[in-house]
Structure 1
């Protein structure tokens, strides 16, 4: 009988050690490895003999994963709950490999935890695929928020950004400024130079506005047609007016020919500027209507100029 059990044990050991999964066993009371498969050396480079205590396992977990994984595994094991944990494990060469530990809790006759047995799996390829998928999803999301012609934010992105920054401005009592730009006589530009040249002009103006006036967590987007909106969180009325004036000057410096313009021989734009420190009763739509009226006045007054709201802050602010 003893010989039979020895043979059977050897068969099981051979089966375990012939799989790619790495079997292991930990004595709970002693916090020591009773066994770990030789496959561990092929995966991480550490010899079987180097896996003596639970601390050896802990020390080889990536520092960013260590506390989360160790606390989770201890809590689940103490509760007698089988569990799984994903983490990065240190190789003997200093690199990291993604591991999934599948753990089964073994209890003694009194119901207390006797040992832990489980398997380590190399999930590095799966993690790389997941990370690539997340990267692609991020790229797709970015594309869905970008204007296909000019490369700046599209209207969908602008609306989402405006809503979020309006909420922040209301909560933190900070000013929110908008600069609305419209290329002067753009229909005439298209008629004179052709739509392909018009598309190239839109791209050039978008790039100029973006580099000239948009900083940090601010946003420039295509509001519609030849209109561009700058959203400037935390910027006061003076700062917003300065940005719009800078854009006007940079566009003049660009000296883009416009032979069909009723304003000048080069491309120009009109700008509306509005700032609000939100208070009770204020809403975002009113701010948008204000900046639109300012742009309209700039157009009425001869174009190629900046018109700012005369009341940057509400009377109750």
Structure 2
């Protein structure tokens, strides 16, 4: 391809939108070598594809520096597609073809293969050249290395995910926090309401925890909370949710769980805490940490809202504590005292 073709294709009127730029092009039209110098001294990689043959008429030598493939190896659009990450290929190729057929200028980001087998993020900025009748004649554009930008975007996205996760996590125990509990309960309530399914809730309170803090100190008290949170997590099934409700209280959301199954989960958690034998000198129950449980199961309806259900289960928790602690109380069920 000669210098005039390069200058006309790449730095022609298709890239110079305003009058001043068009005038500058006219003044330099007799110096095609200047265009090549300008094009090949930039980090952007210019290229041109003939629409009818789908062959590269030109690609800048910078492509070899970036990807390792010589310009002479870029013969057709197939070379371009095959040197694209498999996960990006179909979507990017389909998008670019459809936009080009419609005569619409466009941009596409994708990962391009290097000769060493790695991938580099590229952005293709494409201008569709049409003849005087409006038919697509050629595609011209620039490739830009946006790898650093993508790395920055990924780091920002990762940090945002971490911050979001932290905003829904209890900082002490690592369980969900009250905010996350509210979101999960609302979501599971709406799902159960739509499906006519049972939803169960288990509220847990560590027995005599004020006495524990008074005797061992708040630092040890925090360790106890973390330990109990971890133990409760061991008692969960797939799909269950655990959160710290506040202070020494925890709560379990058990989706699609009937009353009997909810009682079994509560009993398993109570046994796990007892088996851990966390020392509690001020507790009347074997001088170890125990917990009281309130359990409720409901098929949601419009007659009660999630807050009302939580209050009912919380009342059962207090029934368990009034019945001597270290036991389970359930709505419409007698308290089950530990033995």
TM-score by length of 2: 0.86
Matches within 5 A, 1:1-317: 8-211=31-234, 213-310=235-332
- State the 1:190 CA deviation: 1.2
Take 1:194 and 1:27, find their aligned partners in 2: how far apart are those partners? Answer: 78
Take 1:80 and 1:157, find their aligned partners in 2: how far apart are those partners? Answer: 48
- State the 1:58 CA deviation: 1.6
Take 1:102 and 1:309, find their aligned partners in 2: how far apart are those partners? Answer: 64
Take 2:143 and 2:72, find their aligned partners in 1: how far apart are those partners? Answer: 17
Take 2:238 and 2:51, find their aligned partners in 1: how far apart are those partners? Answer: 53
CA offsets, 1:187-206, max 9 Å, x none? Answer: 11111222222111111111
Change (3 A) 1:230 1:5: closer
- State the 1:44 CA deviation: 1.5
Q: Is the contact between residue 177 and residue 240 of structure 1 (CA under 8 Å) also seen in structure 2?
A: yes
Q: Please give the secondary structure, in 1, of the residue aligned with 2:324.
A: coil
| Counterpart residue number, 1:315 | none
Q: Is the contact between residue 252 and residue 267 of structure 1 (CA under 8 Å) also seen in structure 2?
A: yes
Mean CA deviation greater in 254-263 or 34-43:
254-263
Take 1:292 and 1:104, find their aligned partners in 2: how far apart are those partners? Answer: 65
CA offsets, 1:125-181, max 9 Å, x none? Answer: 100110011001111111111112212111111111111111222223322211110
Q: Is the contact between residue 61 and residue 88 of structure 1 (CA under 8 Å) also seen in structure 2?
A: yes
Take 1:221 and 1:80, find their aligned partners in 2: how far apart are those partners? Answer: 54
TM-score by length of 1: 0.92
Q: Which runs of 4+ in 1 moved over 6 A?
A: 2-7
- State the 1:5 CA deviation: 8.8
Q: Is the contact between residue 190 and residue 198 of structure 1 (CA under 8 Å) also seen in structure 2?
A: yes
Q: Is the contact between residue 185 and residue 262 of structure 1 (CA under 8 Å) also seen in structure 2?
A: no
CA offsets, 1:239-267, max 9 Å, x none? Answer: 21111111111111111122222444211
Mean CA deviation greater in 187-196 or 26-35:
187-196
Count the aligned residue pairs: 309
- State the 1:80 CA deviation: 1.8
Take 1:146 and 1:5, find their aligned partners in 2: how far apart are those partners? Answer: 63
Mean CA deviation greater in 10-19 or 219-228:
10-19
Mean CA deviation greater in 261-270 or 97-106:
261-270
- State the 1:286 CA deviation: 2.8
Structure 2: gaps (5+ residues): 5-26, 334-339
